[in-house]
Amino acid sequence: MARRQFTVIDIAEVLQHWHAGRPKAVIAVSLGVDPKTVRKYVARAEEAGLAPGGPTISRAEWAQLVTSWFPELTDPRSRSKTHALVDAHRDDIEAMLETNSVTVVHQRLRDEHGLAVGITSFRHYVELEFPERRQLAQVTVLRPDVPPADEAQVDYGLLGTWLDPVSQRRRRVWAFVMVLSFSRHMFVWVTFKMDQHAWTEAHAAAFEYFGGVPARIVPDNLKTGVTTPDLYDPKVNHSYAECAEHYGFLVDPARPVKPKDKPRVERPMRYIRDSFWRGREWVDLAAMRAGAATWCTEVAGQRSHRSLEGATPLAVFGEVERPVLRSCPPSRFELARWRQAKVGTDCHVKVGRALYSVPWRLIGQRVDVRWTHRRVEVFVDAHVVKSHTTIDKGRQTDMGDYPPEKIAFFMRTPAWCRLRAAEVGAATTQLVGDLLVPHALHRLRSAQGVLRFADRYGTQALEAACATALAAGDPSYRTVKGILAAGQDAVREARVVPAHLHGADQLFGREAS
């Protein structure tokens, strides 16, 4: 047992009792002090000529007397054998304490300077010589009382492992816990994952269980809730921000590595593991969640809580807090997933097992993607630049997302082909029309190919080639191509055009010999 360190006030109290006439043995029992200790301090007063029943001495006067009789109480350095050893390194200690902990400073002095003093004595030295460090560490800001329905604290805790009877493999099982700060009523949601989707899903389930929404939620600085931990300006991720907006609560993250900011949810974790989880068998996740909800109501909700003056959390919740919770929205929150994606050179981003097109100007950029079971939306600087209907796999493409010059050929419909053919001439109109009559979409590519020859050979040459193909009874893409190619060869090689291609001699405005 550690020896009690007596202060000036402690000794003054012993002497006040003695001076009032109480026996030393009674004083020892009354103040919980060893009788030898009482005799030690009383002996010094007797040496000074004091006796019980004398003139009244105030507490302040006793304190002055004790200070003069026992100077070591106000200057512990005088009774420390190691103080001088450590004090030889005072300047180094003061400098190192600016950037290092007491333990690290002791370790460095021991290893690098041969300081033969234990860590406990070293800590006592630091407390005496640098009292401001101890005072700062001991400062505890009392949390003010939380009004009903004002705050809930949330966190994850590991429950243990579970043998999946289907896959025969062990899985880590986590508990999402929400505790209402006023009533201490809690909700436990069992999960195998701690991703963004599970985080928002657990909140929705908690609000349904409580039948309402608190004004403020205090989460940890998990990435599932807060993307950028910061004391003054924490950044809440997209999905959690949407959840907060839908239910109307404020997200107030705890400071990084500060569990005391949410003690009401940190402390029950061990209780949850011991009372709800350990020693129980579960068949699947649904059974775990149902069991957790029952346990929260029938066990945790019925426990006597000292902060509630012996009342149960469920009783306080039902009588005081439940009536003032904010009502849940009429529609359940649509859980959305968010991710960042890079736009590929094909103007698509990958979401799940599907590809979705975005405007071509975003090629190479990273965009934010939000998707639900119904819609996929692409954001740039918080603005929607594209939306699609969600598909399980495959490709969703809007041709308008490509550059106009790249998709002009693919956008040439049968109607466009007929209109363009009419601009070229009657023979082209007839040939293109014949191609599109039987199976317009099936022969569309052939019609488009014929019309593209106008870009290379000119409209007059194309009209003449179509007329020749019609006259030959073979109005096809291949025939028109052969006629145009032969006519070009005739100009290049200056030779007579074969008789079976009669009419091609006029393609370039001259007669065959």
Domain of residue 397, CATH code: 2.40.50
Is residue 93 scored above 70 in pLDDT? yes
Cβ neighbours of residue 71 under 8 Å, at least 6 residues apart?
A: 78
Given strand 348-351, what is the order of strands in its sheet? 348-351, 353-357, 393-396
Residue 495's pLDDT is: 40
Is the domain of 193 the same as that of 223? yes
Residue 143's pLDDT is: 53
Is residue 318 scored above 70 in pLDDT? yes
Query: 447 in a domain, yes or no?
Result: yes
CATH code assigned at 204: 3.30.420.10
Rounded Cα–Cα distance for residues 327 and 249 (Å): 11
Q: Which residue, 29, 48, 74, sits at the end of a domain?
A: 74
Is the domain of 213 the same as that of 354? no
Tell me which of 69-83, 328-342, 432-446, 485-499 is least confident: 485-499
Q: Which token pair is 506? A: 């006029």
Phi, psi for 226 (deg, rounded to 5): -130, 120
Q: What is the DSSP letter of 344?
A: P
Q: Which residue, 367, 389, 406, sits at the end of a domain?
A: 406
Q: Which of 307, 306, 9 is nearest to 146 (CA)?
A: 307
Q: Average pLDDT for residues 13-40, to the nearest whole number?
A: 84
Query: 146 in a domain, yes or no?
Result: no
Q: Which of 385, 394, 383, 384 is nearest to 351 (CA)?
A: 394
Report the predicted TM-score, pTM, of the whole model to 2 decimal places.
0.49
Residue 306 structural domain: 151-324
Is the domain of 373 the same as that of 457? no
Phi, psi for 406 (deg, rounded to 5): -85, -25
Cβ neighbours of residue 342 under 8 Å, at least 6 residues apart?
A: 349, 364, 365, 366, 367
Is the domain of 53 the same as that of 83? no
Is the domain of 85 the same as that of 16? no
Run of H or E residues at 125: helix 119-129
Q: What angle do CA 134, 135, 136 make, to 5 degrees?
A: 90
Is the domain of 298 the same as that of 418? no
Query: 2 in a domain, yes or no?
Result: no
Is the domain of 46 the same as that of 82? no
The beta-strand segments (E) located in 231-344 are: 235-236, 250-251, 337-342
Is the domain of 296 the same as that of 173? yes
Query: 3 in a domain, yes or no?
Result: no
Rounded Cα–Cα distance for residues 158 and 113 (Å): 44
Query: 98 in a domain, yes or no?
Result: yes
Cβ neighbours of residue 147 under 8 Å, at least 6 residues apart?
A: 182
Rounded Cα–Cα distance for residues 276 and 274 (Å): 6
Q: pLDDT category, 102, cuts 50, 70, 90?
A: confident
Q: Average pLDDT for residues 254-280, to the nearest whole number?
A: 77
Q: Which residue, 406, 429, 461, sits at the end of a domain?
A: 406
Q: Average pLDDT for residues 94-106, to the nearest whole number?
A: 81
Is residue 494 scored above 70 in pLDDT? no
pLDDT (tens digit per residue) in 394-422: 888 888 888 765 665 555 678 888 888 99
Tell me which of 294-303, 441-450, 454-463 is least confident: 441-450
Contact 228, 234 (CB under 8 A): yes
Is the domain of 159 the same as that of 297? yes
Query: 302 in a domain, yes or no?
Result: yes
Is the domain of 39 the same as that of 59? yes
Cβ neighbours of residue 445 under 8 Å, at least 6 residues apart?
A: none
Residue 309's pLDDT is: 77
Rounded Cα–Cα distance for residues 217 and 215 (Å): 7
Query: 1 in a domain, yes or no?
Result: no
Query: 511 in a domain, yes or no?
Result: no
Number of domains in the chain: 5
Contact 127, 134 (CB under 8 A): yes
Given strand 250-251, what is the order of strands in its sheet? 186-191, 170-180, 151-163, 216-218, 250-251
Is the domain of 70 the same as that of 89? no
Residue 205's pLDDT is: 93
Is residue 231 scored above 60 in pLDDT? no
Contact 355, 395 (CB under 8 A): yes
Q: What is the DSSP letter of 90?
A: H
Is the domain of 223 the same as that of 283? yes
Q: Which token pair is 384? A: 């929607």
Contact 42, 24 (CB under 8 A): yes
